[in-house]
Amino acid sequence: MKLVWPGRILLLAATLLAWHLAALSMGKMLLGTPWEVALRLVEWVGDGTLAHHLAVTLGEALVGLAAGGVGGVLVGLVLHASRAARRILVPWLRAAMGIPKLALMPLAILWFGIGVESKIVLIGLIVFFMLFEATMAGLDAADLKLVMMARVLGASQTQLARRIALPALAPFLFAAAKTATPWAVSVAVIGELLGGESGLGWLIANARDVGDMTGMCAGVVVVTLLVLGLDAALGRSQARSLRWRAVDSRATL
């Protein structure tokens, strides 16, 4: 554990050095240097550009995550409770998972416009399937013997849900959420690149259109930091929520 942060800092330094050398060899027309990107970020922070566009992309990602996540969990719970409904609907839902969702972005923009609505709809659709599968897998992983024993002892459905189903489900939901979060941010940015009025994707597209490589690189850096921040927040929430689990310290990040 003592080597984790020094290792991370060393990796960051090596990445910045490689980036700087690549920028020098390729030229400013093809890649901005880390220092130039840092100055651009300071400029964006000072004039409010970063706060505005970051809020738009973050809002799209979080609303899409919430809508798709809640929908996926609820549908998973309902289908898990009904064997007949599960046999009828699950094959069709899994077939729908194979549809390339990003290919639907032009259609979503056509239907819902270039505002935040089209991005939220597509993010929600992608997240829905991830959380749906996680819910089904988590409930299937619940210890059946433990459930039967609890029923024999007179446990109610609410107690079964709180004491058995939820603890079995929580690790799966967190794993799915940590996978869905980068997807949500990426889809929001791609949607803004293809057709948007604001957001980090719009900021990157605007810089691209005027040949501003430093601005493009700065936008990509902000997107990367946003994903890292959301992942760290999820990790802390997961650690607090799953304190009851016995975890090998060697596997702890």
Give residue 82's pLDDT: 83
What's the pLDDT at 154?
A: 64
- 31 falls within a domain: no
Q: What range defines the domain where residue 232 resides?
A: 53-134+181-241
The per-residue pLDDT for range 135-150, each reduced to its tens digit, is: 888 887 765 666 666 6
The answer as to whether 32 is a domain residue is no
Q: Where are the alpha helices (DSSP H) in 82-165?
A: 83-97, 105-112, 116-140, 144-152, 157-160
Give the list of residues 6+ apart from residue 77 with CB closer than 8 angstroms, or none: 135, 139
Q: Looking at residue 161, what is its pLDDT?
A: 59
The answer to whether residue 20 sits within a structural domain is no
CA dist list (Å): 244 to 19, 121, 163, 175, 241 = 42, 35, 12, 17, 8
Q: Examine residue 21 and state whether it is found in any structural domain, yes or no.
A: no
Domain count, the chain: 1
Helix, strand, coil tally for the chain in percent (to 5): 85, 0, 15
Please report, for the domain that includes residue 58, its CATH number. 1.10.3720.10
Residue 23 is assigned to a structural domain of this protein: no
Q: Please report the pLDDT score of residue 249 as a whole number.
A: 43
CB atoms within 10 A of CB 191: 29
Give tens-digit pLDDT for 83-132: 888 888 888 888 888 888 878 888 888 888 888 888 999 999 999 999 99
Low-confidence ranges of the chain (pLDDT < 50): 247-253
pLDDT at residue 111, rounded to an integer: 87
Q: Where are the beta strands (DSSP E) in 87-209?
A: none
CA torsion through residues 222, 224, 225, 230, sign: positive
Q: Are 105 and 194 in contact (CB under 8 A)?
A: yes
Residue 99 lies in a domain: yes
Based on the number of CB atoms within 10 Å of its own CB, is 51 exposed (0-12), middle (13-18) or buried (19 or more)? exposed
